Every structure is written in C-alpha cells, then in structure tokens.
Chains A and B, each alone.
Chain A
Amino acid sequence: MTTFDYAPALESRSIVTIDSSYGHFINGVFVEGKNHFASINPSNEEVLSQISLAGSDDINRAVSAARVAYEATWSKMPGKERGKYLYRIARIMQERAREFAVLETLDNGKPIRESRDVDVPLAAAHFFYHAGWADKLDYVGVGHSPRPHGVAGQIIPWNFPLLMLAWKVAPALAAGNTVVLKPAESTSLTALLFAQVCQQAELPAGVVNIVTGDGSSGALLVNHPGVDKIAFTGSTEVGKAIARAIAPTKKKATLELGGKAANIVFDDAPIDETVEGIVNGIFFNQGHVCCAGSRLLLQENIAEQTIEALKVRMAKIRVGNPLDKNTDLGAINSSEQLGKIQSLSATGDQEGAQRWSPECVLPEKGYWFPPTIFTGVTQAHRIAREEIFGPVLSVLTFRTPAEAIEKANNTPYGLSAGIWSEKGSRILWAAQQLRAGVIWANTFNKFEPASPFGGYKESGWGREGGRHGLAAYLTSDENGDN
C-alpha cells in the first residue's frame, strides 16, 4: 500500500512585527498604557507581547477624543468624503492581508487557512460594503436626513478579533459616528495593527480610538456618560449586565450574544454534503462561533448512517500548528476557555451521553481539545442547553418535522439554525417555524456584509450587517428618537 503523507506547509511569520508592549491608540496616536498583561499565542503558550489595561483615565481620554472628533470633523464631513476613508481602509487591509492573517493566527490560535480565507477578506469586505453606504444614508430606512448617535463604545470578543472589529467599526464610521473600541483581552494585536492602518489611511485623529483591557475596562466604557451607543458581541451573561447598566440611560445598544444552534438534517438530505456542513458548522474556528451548529438534530431513520459518515470525516480533520496551511482545527483560545470546554464535556459524560473523538495527537504545549461528538444526548442534558463554545457537538434525534422544530426552538437562545433537505417546500416551512435570526439551508456559517446577522431571544438585540445593521448606528426625527 502506498503511503501518502502530507509535508507541513508552514506560513512564515516573518511578515509580522510585534512590539514587546503596547499602549492605547487615542486621538490618532499610540499613547503609553499601564498595568500590562501578557498576550499569549494559545498554540504554544509563547508570550507575544504585553498589553495595557485601560483604566478610567484612559477611557476618559479616548471618549473625549472621540467626542471632539465627532463634533469637529466626522459628523460634519459629507458622506462621500467619509466613504473615501472607508474605501482607503479596506484597500490597505487587502494590501496587508497576509500580515493580518498571520498575526490573527498567532494571537488567536485559529488556522491560517481560516484567517487568510475568511476573517481578513470578510473584514475588508465589510469596509468596502459600508463605504458604499456612507453617502446613501437617506435610503437606509430610518427616515430622511438620518443622524449618527455620536460616540459609539464597542466591545468585541476573541473568536473573530479583526472581523468583529470590522462589523463594529465600518457601519459606525459610515453612519458618521466616532468610535472607542475595546478588543478582548486575549486578542488585542490585530486591533492594534488596525490602528496603524487608520494612521496609514490618514483617518482624522480621534475618529477611531482603541483601548485594550479586560472586562473592567469594558465596564468603564459601557458606563461612561460620554458614550451614546453601545455595541457588544460576547456572552449572554455580560450582555445582560450591559442591558442592566444602560437601562436608566439614553444609550442605544446592539448586543450579539450566545447561541446553541440546531442543525437539522432531514432524511432526504445528501449525506456527504451534509457531513461537510456539520463539520463546518461545529469545527470551524474550533467551535468558537456564537452561531455554531452545536446541536445536531438527525432524523432517526438516517441517524446511524450519518453519525458513521461523520466519524469517518472527523478522523480526517487535521489538528495542530495553526500556521500550517494544512491545519483544519487550531488551538483553543485560552486556558480559561479550555477549562470551560473540559468541564461542560465532563457533564456530558456524567449525564449519560456517549463521547467520541477520533484518534489525534494533540501538541504538548498550548491549549488543545480534540474534535468531539456526544451521541445519546437529550434536551435535558447541559451539553444540549449551554453554549460550550468549543469543538464539541451534541447529537440528538427526531422522528417528525414537528418534533425537529419543537426541539430546535426549545432553548433560550435563537441566533442561528441549519436545515438540510433536498425538498424546497420543507426548507421554507422549517425556516418559518424556527425562532432564529439566521437560518442556513444546505450550508452553514456563511457570512456576507449585506446580510443582517443577529439573534432572537437571549441571543441578542438588533442586527449587524446589511441595511438593518447600519440602521442601528442612525437615528432621525421621524424615527421618534432624540
């Protein structure tokens, strides 16, 4: 028998320059920060840099800079001119795409294949898309002569650091708001590189400010009286805290929170195609995806066959060095997250579900978890109810379409769902019944700047992307806002 081993195909990291420590980006310049903490490469625990923890002084300076830029420059600039800056940023991101991709992979642990082919191109696409909107705001649908809110405080997660930055910053700027953005504490580096892009694009000082830090810095930003709008992507728990904090204020908010998406497979679905979709749904980005297809609902008459095919496919997933272009599954982003995945998976064992992972050798250093499925899961199991945010799939079965819908909707979340069927009428029927903001049919995890994204129920408030997402950064007299 012939052996056919793949040689490693390492992407070079020489394209990126990482400083030994970083401050904040305020009013167009990098300023000194305090209380530094380490940013770690999760695939080998290498310390990449020291990141500053923003305190109230830093947040005050950033919000003031954003306010001045808003009043003096950005809100007064014609939309067409704002659009030019956004186009310029988008083009620089494309020119520096490899640098962004390598840095994202080093800092986040995701495979270079994904940062290169998904995160960075989509981030640039968001800037291009919103650049086109900047001079057409009358047509967004919030009334005539819509106005920006003012200063947007934006807090983003660690799973798609640059892409979530783009989702937040591009519409805010297109609409005429200025921004104070705080990246997640474990993944600040691409946001700081983006700050350099803002300088390179000669964006007016103070329009984009980036402050680094942890949840305490985020809380300072949320509670700052100079912030007019909050945009947050992260856990439902923190989202609820933000909602409570801003309830007595006039602050607007969009919240993108957790999910526990049902990926429903009907018995007429093509198995091979579906298996690819299941793998993409749960193992894309190590399952660190709020809209991940983490609950697989299989029609019972094809369950066994589908699980067997899924196992064969999972055995081919390559886990390892994220900079290797062959890698499918990279590192878990932090030891804290790894601990969460391990402990929730342990409840799966304790509650009687059957765990399976293919044989795979995990690197010795860094934070790693093998691709895993649990079969024999019921709606009552914690692994069917709680967001694991890792490469762990819970498999359930159903017998009738009605049962599939009932189980799919039996969750406090409602961010996304998937339907696999060859029958169009069944897809349309199921999509109407599902209480989820994004529904994919015969695909999964497809993202596109023109398509609004957001959740039902405890998965969030509002939408991001498309006309609906842009509307969240605008108001008008006709809109009843003041």
Chain B
Amino acid sequence: MERKNPCSIFSATVPSVGAICVYNDMVSIARTHLDSIGGSNIPVAAVSTAFPSGRASMAVKLQDTADAIAAGAGEIDMVIDRGAFLSGRYMEVFEEIQEIRALCGEKAHLKVILETGELVTYDSVRKASFLAMLAGADFIKTSTGKISPAATAPVVLVMLEAVRDFYTLTGTRIGVKPAGGIRNTKDAIKQLVLVNETAGPEWLTPKLFRIGASALLNDLLMQRMKMRDGYYASPTYVTID
C-alpha cells in the first residue's frame, strides 16, 4: 500500500486546527511560518496577561497583550486574577477583563482562561464564567494547562450551561474551550456530546467550541490510521513534533 503522510495540514480533506496557540514571543515566528506555508487563514493565538500565573501589574498585562497583537496575534488568551476572584474582589477581575477587551478591540478575539483547577467549586466556575462573559469575553476557557485538574467533564458542563444561559438572557453566543487533560479521541468525543446536549448543535463549530490539547492530535491520527488500515499502529509511527 502506498504510504501517505497522514499529517498533510492543508489538504482539502483534512480539517485544519482552529488556531496555533503560542507564548507571546513566538507570535511573529508562528505568523510568518504559517503565512509562508499557505496557512494565512489560520490565526495565531497568544497566551497573555502574564500567563499562566497572571501575577503582574496591570500595566505589564496590557503591554504583554499589546505586544502580541502588534506581532500579529489574532486571538488573545488571557488569564483571570484568581487571587482577586477567590478573595471576593470580583470587580477587579471584571475590570481587568474589560480593559484587555478594550485593548483587543476589533483586532483580536478574546479568550478568558478561568483556571478552573484553582477555582475548585462549580459555583465559582459558574460565577467566573458570567464575570468573563459580561466583561466581554468571546470565549471562556477552562485552563492554562499548567494546573491539574483541568478540563474535567463536570467543569465543562457547568461552563456550557453558563454560555447556554447567557445566550438565553442576551442573545449572544459565547464560545467554550476546554483545555488540558483531553488526551485521546474518546475523551474528545465525550466533550462534543456534552456540547451537543447542553449548549446545542449551534456550538459545534470552531467559532464557538475548541479543544485545546496538544496530546490529542497524535491519538486522533492513530485512530484515523486504524480506520484506514484496520489495526492499531505503534505510537512510534506518529511523530511527536
């Protein structure tokens, strides 16, 4: 059998990723490379606002974000100030998100990372989801990927319920991005079922639902190889970079 590279990114039959998510200083490199290989329609997302801890002054967070946008980031993944949230200073969290939102303007799409592993309770996850949505987030995202647990199914359920309820109240659909901990295809399918059953099929688009999971890709490739060949290949048949 002719052996094909299963990873040809820009073939018409293989869907591309929603975005390439990188650290701030890698934005221009990623942008330039994507443009040079014909991926100019794929946005670069920058993790921002002193990611992942968020422990910096607001001036630094704003500068961080401005740099990323200037370097060509089409999406900003900001972290909330969990310290402020957990000590009850909700307005501070809200205003920070608003300021970053204002800076992004029309140029960049804003994802707000709640870091649910540090918020711990479902009540807090729901409250933080609403703070972010009211302050202007385009997406709410579970985690930085640096803290465990990350995108557990119950947390994603709570966030999907929040975007569903926000849509009922305002008519605006906010996206959800579970990130961290989704390592295989079965987990990803469970997430898609959650979206379909909770928020509804309208959310089953990259504009409203993304999975952030670098580990997932190789398992997905292996599942596709199994569909093609009828047996599971060794993981070493899939490259890790």
Contacts and interface: CB of A to CB of B under 8 A. Distances in A.
A316 interface: yes
Contacts of A4: 192-193, 196, 201, 204
Contacts of A2: 201, 204-205
B202 A1 contact: yes
Nearest to A308: B168
A118 B117 CA distance: 32
Contacts of B161: 272
Contacts of B192: 4
A249 interface: no
B197 interface: yes
**Chain A interface helix/strand/loop/mixed:** loop
B197 A3 contact: no
B201 A1 contact: yes
B15 to A, nearest CB: 11
B185 to A, nearest CB: 15
A4 B197 CA distance: 10
Nearest to A6: B193
Nearest to A313: B197
A274 to B, nearest CB: 13
Which interface class (under 10, 10 to 19, 20 to 34, 35 or more) fits A?
A: under 10
Contacts of A3: 201
Nearest to B126: A270
Contacts of A1: 201-202, 204-205
A4 B192 CA distance: 9
Nearest to A316: B197
Interface in A268-321: 272, 316
A2 B192 CA distance: 11
Interface in B185-207: 192-193, 196-197, 201-202, 204-205
A272 B194 CA distance: 14
Contacts of B196: 4
Contacts of B205: 1-2
A1 B193 CA distance: 15
A317 to B, nearest CB: 11
Interface string B159-179: 001000000000000000000
Contacts of A272: 161
A54 B197 CA distance: 48
Interface in B64-101: none
B146 to A, nearest CB: 29
A3 B202 CA distance: 9
B208 to A, nearest CB: 10
Interface in A95-144: none
Contacts of B197: 316
Contacts of A316: 197
Interface string A395-439: 000000000000000000000000000000000000000000000
A291 to B, nearest CB: 27
A316 B197 CA distance: 7
A4 B201 CA distance: 7
B130 to A, nearest CB: 14
B201 to A, nearest CB: 6
Contacts of B193: 4
Nearest to A3: B201
A422 B153 CA distance: 23
Interface in B146-166: 161
A310 to B, nearest CB: 14
A215 B159 CA distance: 52
B33 to A, nearest CB: 29
A180 B196 CA distance: 50
B14 to A, nearest CB: 17
A225 B59 CA distance: 91
Interface string B199-222: 001101100000000000000000
A10 B204 CA distance: 26
B155 to A, nearest CB: 14
A285 to B, nearest CB: 21
A470 B193 CA distance: 44
Given A1-B204, A1-B205, A4-B201, 9 more contacts: A1-B201, A2-B201, A2-B204, A2-B205, A3-B201, A4-B192, A4-B193, A4-B196, A4-B204
15 contacts: A1-B201, A1-B202, A1-B204, A1-B205, A2-B201, A2-B204, A2-B205, A3-B201, A4-B192, A4-B193, A4-B196, A4-B201, A4-B204, A272-B161, A316-B197
Rank and list the top 7 A-B pairs by shortest CB-CB distance, nearest first: A2-B204, A4-B196, A272-B161, A4-B201, A4-B204, A1-B201, A316-B197
Interface of A: 1-4, 272, 316
